[in-house]
Amino acid sequence: MEEHDMHTQSDFDLAVIGSGPGGFEAAVRAARKGLTVCVIERGALGGVCVNWGCIPTKALLRSAEIFRLAGESSAFGLDIEASSIDLARAVKRSRKVVLLASKGVESALKKNNVTVFQGEATFVDERTLRISRDGQEDERLTAKHIIIASGARPREIPVLPVDGRHIMTSREALALKSAPERMIVVGGGAIGLEMAWYYHSAGTKVTVLEMLPRLLPLEDKEVSEGLERLLKKAGISIHCEAAVMSASAGDDGVVDAVVRMKDGSEQKMQGECLLVAAGVVPNSGVLQLDAAGVILERGFIATDGQCRTNVDHIYAIGDVRGGMQLAHKASAEAVIAVDAMTGGNPMPIDDAMVPRCVYVEPAVAAIGASQEDAAAEGREVMVGRAMFAASGKASAYGFRDGFVKLIFDAGSGVMIGGHVLGHGAVELIGELSLAMRLGATADQIASTIHAHPTLSETVREAAENAVVA
């Protein structure tokens, strides 16, 4: 990572705004293609994913998993005493993991001769960026191409005034050093459920509120309803079609919330913490895009299939572009944008080929169409299911809940959707992603030899069940 004099003007082939998964991938790929590249990052290298999202969340969830396993140790012939999760130590470990990942980003950028500027990037015109830092003189730089990978931030809800102590976003929730007695989680999507599971594991009485009719409303109904049953069985309180009308923290540190329930009644709820996990909004407003003439659509940067904006040499990738807001999708878009700007003609991303994961226990992973999607499109399908309860590996490991559900086009037999609810789902999704990418049929998956005993055998069995159904 080259040091840069903050008082000189520099020209680059490519300037990347943001160093998250998309920005990092774009910078390294472009540098390896021989371009001179800079990255402008206002926070820590790695962006939200590395510092306050994907990585620390999974580190904390691993602590929850180890605690759960310790609690079940007697069934495996062991006596391991673990009365609680020490949140302070769990958070300390998670920050070490974050530091390691961030250093990895820094090292890779340095190795590929990418110049890094710390500061806030704004457009002066379509080729010039201003970099602002507190207490220092602004700098301007020009670039032949610009990739905007500025990410997103938690959505603000007027009736839920975040104070960072009692009413908080996931960022604050990732750093609590002690478990609150009660927590209200507003939002039944991936972020809300992962935080709910972590704090439930730590002994907190958790209530999840979701405005829509079911958790993970965009996932297959059978999966989301199955997950809801299992989370309720574990002790998490869940209310769907519930909306928070107001919330405030009193002097005693207790949050009082008024919730409109499914039946239209209003119910008062209390908790030491209320987590707002109701989605994210793009970081586009701070960029002064008007100066470059870049068009927005509902706050997101409008692009074509190759991530190109209405200004030919400016691209946008990741959360700020819209669509599924996933780190691996941002990385894939980075490849497309760099290849397009260097003379290639890459194919646009097919959202049906982007896997989705939720890291609770049991986990959820999916790719492609749900059964409801297929029905809405009027497609004739074959559906195959296989339960983990029938898996020798799942029984041996003590994770028998859940299933694999595969959806195939009835005419061609080609897989159009794959859904997993169960332990190890996020690892099994790789096989389903490859099957989708290669256009595999039910027969081909069913006839593929899978090692025994493995959880992946359940994938083969689901495909076989679709064939014989």
How is 65-125 classified by DSSP, letter by letter? HHHHHHHTGGGGT------S--HHHHHHHHHHHHHHHHHHHHHHHHHTT-EEEESEEEESS
Indicate which residues carry an active-site annotation: 452
Cα separation, 337 vs 26, in Å, equals 8
Average pLDDT on 68-90 reads: 92
Cα separation, 360 vs 422, in Å, equals 9
Look at residues 197, 133, 185 and name the one whose alpha carbon lies nearest to residue 154. Answer: 185
User: In this predicted structure, what is the pLDDT of residue 311?
Assistant: 98
User: Among residues of the chain, what percentage have pLDDT more than 90?
Assistant: 94
CATH 3.50.50.60 residue window(s) in the chain: 10-154+281-341, 167-278
Per residue in 407-451, pLDDT tens? Answer: 999 999 999 999 999 999 999 999 999 999 999 999 999 999 999
Indicate the helix (H) or strand (E) that contains 152: strand 152-154
Average pLDDT on 337-358 reads: 97
Q: Where are the alpha helices (DSSP H) in 112-189?
A: 170-173
**pLDDT at residue 6 above 70?**
no
- Quick one: pLDDT band at residue 83, thresholds 50, 70, 90? confident
Per residue in 285-344, pLDDT tens? Answer: 999 999 999 999 999 999 999 999 999 999 999 999 999 999 999 999 999 999 999 999
Mean pLDDT of the chain: 96
Average pLDDT on 173-198 reads: 97
- Quick one: pLDDT band at residue 7, thresholds 50, 70, 90? very low
**pLDDT at residue 89 above 90?**
yes
Report the half-sphere exposure of 82 (CA within 13 A, side-chain side).
Answer: 20
User: In this predicted structure, what is the pLDDT of residue 4?
Assistant: 46
- Quick one: pLDDT band at residue 135, thresholds 50, 70, 90? confident
Peptide bond connecting 346 to the previous residue in cis, omega within 30 degrees of 0: no
**pLDDT at residue 43 above 70?**
yes
Looking at the domain covering 362-468, what would its CATH class be? alpha beta
Q: What is the pTM of this model?
A: 0.94
Average pLDDT on 73-100 reads: 94
Scored b (16 or more CB within 10 A) or e, 388-423 reads beebebbeebebbbbbbbbbbbeeebebbbbbbbbb
Q: Which fold, 10-154+281-341? A: FAD/NAD(P)-binding domain (3.50.50)
The fourth-level CATH superfamily of domain 167-278 is: FAD/NAD(P)-binding domain (3.50.50.60)
**pLDDT at residue 215 above 60?**
yes
For 252, residues 6+ apart whose C-beta sits below 8 A from its C-beta are none
Q: Are 6 and 95 in contact (CB under 8 A)?
A: no
- Quick one: pLDDT band at residue 10, thresholds 50, 70, 90? low
CATH 3.30.390.30 residue window(s) in the chain: 362-468
**pLDDT at residue 2 above 70?**
no
User: In this predicted structure, what is the pLDDT of residue 91?
Assistant: 98
User: Among residues of the chain, what percentage have pLDDT more than 70?
Assistant: 98
